[in-house]
């Protein structure tokens, strides 16, 4: 009966997740990354081989293969030489991959969390976990989109489970499954490399205990076993990882010949320019090909080393801030999620007098989750790419698993209390999530000012990913505006969603003839635009409307709006001159 109850609860909450995902899909335009993924998937279908531009741009292929290829296989594919450039038909084509992502990624993530907690703590814990996932605004948003982040949350969590399963009772079968799960996590997103140090830490923790029980085993023999085991694991992970890239290549191992290689190139810095270096680089350019996983990791490494333009509370940076993701977590998590995080912090703080003893007393599954959360958090806090809270989506299922597991450890002695706690957590979480429906991507908690004030704190994919063109079309129609200037942060084609507007600064009419400016909040904050923060005057003006929470609408018929618009265009012209 308990199992039947858990199935019913998971079914109902899974349906709730799909209903919310459907509302999001029907109200949102294609986003930045989806345009690129769609283009590469269409090219893959047309060519009959994995598009090399996927890994070459640092994109792990598993999400594209799971969500895009089957729905698009009926289209016959397309030649897409400019993958970042949206097409009118994208509004129709993206529907299938989005639905597929909700089904093959969103539902399994919910089931994974519910099943994990059911096996450990029973029906009420499973219900709490499933409800927290089903009504997590960040999870709902990203299982509704056909991106990489929800897929990584699923396979990253699965990999941590496989690691725990192996170390709980080591066997060759579990060892191989662990290697496959880690490879899948790394093929879902290249930041899945965090799983490698997790395995290393788990190995140290568990091997130290076994060695204490076997004091007579020679030291050299122990080292030999460890080295062989580690080498075999790396080999298996590499094979599986490349296999999930369909054993594809992205081009020559070295992209450019020696004569075109600058002194700043890593090749020159490592090898110099002597005769041996010349021959090595010639062979690498002419004879050897670059495996797709290597290309993807190299791209992300170089991208992170260069940094990326980012915005945080009015400041901009090319290298980010160590506190960007902790801040994003604080302002974009629901009150329930923040409560669970605080509860975990308190529980961890209580172990400080003897942390190692307390950690060793935990079972393998909880150890794996704690180590995974800690390693991943350190990784993202050191990253120089600070362009969206989506990069920490993995932390939400880990938080739910850890917090519910630890809390239920203390309340299981009162069975009815578990049911009441689950109901309270789900109700509070649902209230937060539904308060912003269907604009889940733009969720900010009320302590941070809510989604209306979110663009003052974070922009880019934390609130503005080009998703609100359908809302803009409805708002323009409702207000009967016919001469609209548009500053759109996105790759979608506005007219595909019914938006008739002229792009700034390529205006077709004289400046004074426009009565409306619609501007995405990312360029409104001066990010990714030419000129010296051209739209800064609009930040002090009151908009007359908005599309979702990512596009604000200003009246140009009144002098303040017209003056601000004239100043913005003047800055554009100075930049072009």
State pTM to two decimals. 0.94
- Give the range of the structural domain holding residue 555, as residue numbers without chain letter: 468-576
Residues 432 and 475 in one domain: no
Counting the structural domains of the chain, the total is 2
Q: What is the pLDDT of residue 375?
A: 97
Cis peptide bond prior to 438, omega within 30° of 0: yes
* 229 domain residue, yes or no: yes
Are residues 427 and 495 located together in one domain of the fold?
Answer: no
Domain presence at residue 208: yes
- Pair (426, 536) in one structural domain: no
Cα 91-96-98 angle, rounded to 5 deg:
85
Which residues of the chain fall below pLDDT 50? Answer: 211
CA nearest 312: which of 297, 294, 301, 326?
Answer: 326
Would you say 118 and 110 are in contact if contact means Cβ atoms under 8 Å apart? no
Residue 295 within any structural domain of the chain = no
- DSSP character for 361? H
Does residue 298 lie in a domain region? no
CA distance 123 to 6: 5
Q: Are residues 117 and 64 in the same domain?
A: yes
Q: How far apart are CA 548 and CA 529, in angstroms?
A: 22
Say if residue 151 is in the same domain as residue 62.
yes
On whether residue 564 sits in a domain, the answer given is yes
The Cα 181–Cα 526 span in angstroms is 41
In tens, the pLDDT along 318-353 reads 999 999 999 999 999 999 999 999 999 998 888 878
Residue given tokens 């009565």 in the structure block: 515
Q: Are residues 399 and 508 in the same domain?
A: no
| Residues 532, 429 share a domain | no
Q: Which residues pair with 485 in a beta bridge?
A: 502, 517
Polymer length of the chain: 577
Instruction: Give pLDDT, residue 503.
Output: 94
111: region left, alpha or beta (phi > 0 left; psi from -120 to 50 alpha): alpha
Residues 128 and 45 in one domain: yes
Supply the pLDDT for residue 371. Answer: 96
Specify the 3-state DSSP secondary structure of 293. Answer: helix
Residue 250 lies in a domain: no
* β-bridge partners, 486: 503, 518
Q: How many CA atoms lie within 13 A of 470 on its CB side?
A: 13
Assess if residue 251 is contained within a domain: no
- CA atoms of 555 and 550, how far apart (whole Å): 17
CA pair distance 344, 354, nearest whole angstrom: 17
pLDDT at 267: 73
Is residue 456 included in any domain, yes or no?
no
Clarify whether residues 110 and 201 are in a common domain: yes
Q: What is the pLDDT of residue 269?
A: 73
Instruction: Name the DSSP class of 37.
Output: H
Strand boundaries in 118-176, DSSP class E: none
Confidence (pLDDT) at 284: 82
Tell me the pairing of strands 502-503 and 484-487: parallel
Residues 362 and 493 in one domain: no
């Amino acid at each position: 009966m308990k199992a039947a109850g858990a199935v019913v609860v998971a079914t109902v909450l899974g349906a709730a997740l799909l209903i919310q995902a459907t509302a999001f899909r029907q109200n949102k335009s294609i986003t930045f990354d989806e345009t690129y993924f769609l283009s590469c998937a269409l090219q893959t279908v047309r060519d009959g081989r994995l598009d090399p531009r996927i890994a070459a741009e640092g994109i792990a292929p598993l999400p594209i293969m799971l969500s895009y290829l089957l729905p698009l296989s009926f289209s016959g594919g397309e030649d897409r030489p400019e993958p970042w450039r949206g097409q009118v038909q994208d509004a129709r084509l993206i529907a299938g991959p989005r639905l597929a992502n909700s089904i093959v990624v969103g539902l399994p993530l919910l089931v994974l969390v519910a099943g994990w907690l059911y096996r450990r703590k029973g029906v009420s814990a499973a219900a709490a976990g499933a409800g927290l996932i089903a009504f997590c605004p960040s999870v709902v948003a990203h299982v509704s989109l056909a991106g990489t982040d929800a897929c990584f949350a699923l396979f990253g969590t699965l990999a941590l489970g496989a690691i725990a399963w192996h170390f709980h009772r080591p066997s060759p079968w579990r060892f191989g499954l662990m290697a496959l799960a880690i490879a899948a996590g790394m093929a879902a997103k290249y930041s899945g490399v965090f799983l490698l140090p997790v395995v290393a830490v788990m190995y140290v923790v568990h091997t130290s205990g076994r060695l204490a029980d076997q004091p007579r085993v020679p030291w050299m023999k122990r080292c030999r076993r460890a080295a062989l085991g580690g080498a075999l694991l790396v080999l298996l992970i590499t094979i599986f990882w490349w296999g999930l890239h369909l054993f594809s290549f992205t081009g020559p191992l070295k992209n450019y010949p020696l004569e075109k290689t600058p002194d700043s190139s890593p090749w020159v810095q490592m090898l110099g320019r002597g005769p041996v270096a010349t021959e090595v680089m010639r062979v690498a350019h002419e004879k050897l090909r670059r495996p797709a996983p290597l290309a993807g990791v190299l791209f992300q490494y170089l991208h992170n080393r260069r940094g990326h333009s980012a915005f945080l509370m009015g400041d901009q940076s090319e290298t980010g801030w160590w506190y960007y993701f902790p801040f994003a977590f604080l302002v974009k998590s629901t009150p329930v999620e923040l409560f669970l995080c605080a509860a975990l912090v308190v529980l961890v703080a209580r172990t400080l007098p003897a942390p190692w003893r307390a950690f060793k007393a935990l079972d393998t599954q909880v150890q794996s989750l704690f180590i995974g959360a800690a390693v991943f958090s350190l990784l993202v806090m050191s990253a120089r790419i600070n362009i969206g809270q989506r990069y920490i989506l993995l932390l939400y299922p880990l938080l739910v698993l850890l917090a519910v597991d630890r809390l239920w450890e203390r309340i299981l002695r009162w069975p009815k209390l578990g049911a009441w706690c689950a109901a309270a957590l789900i109700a509070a979480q649902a209230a937060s999530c539904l308060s912003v429906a269907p604009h889940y991507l733009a969720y900010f908690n009320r302590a941070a000012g809510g989604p209306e004030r979110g663009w003052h704190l974070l922009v880019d994919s934390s609130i503005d990913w080009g998703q609100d063109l359908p809302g803009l079309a409805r708002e323009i129609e409702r207000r009967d505006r016919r001469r609209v200037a548009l500053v759109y942060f996105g790759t979608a084609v506005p007219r595909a969603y019914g938006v008739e507007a002229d792009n700034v600064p390529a205006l077709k009419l004289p400046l004074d003839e426009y009565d409306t400016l619609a501007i995405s909040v990312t360029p409104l904050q001066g990010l990714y635009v030419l000129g010296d923060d051209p739209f800064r005057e609009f930040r002090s003006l009151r908009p007359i409307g908005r599309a979702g929470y990512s596009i604000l609408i200003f009246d140009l018929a009144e002098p303040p709006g017209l003056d601000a618009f004239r100043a913005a265009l003047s800055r554009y012209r100075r930049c072009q001159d």
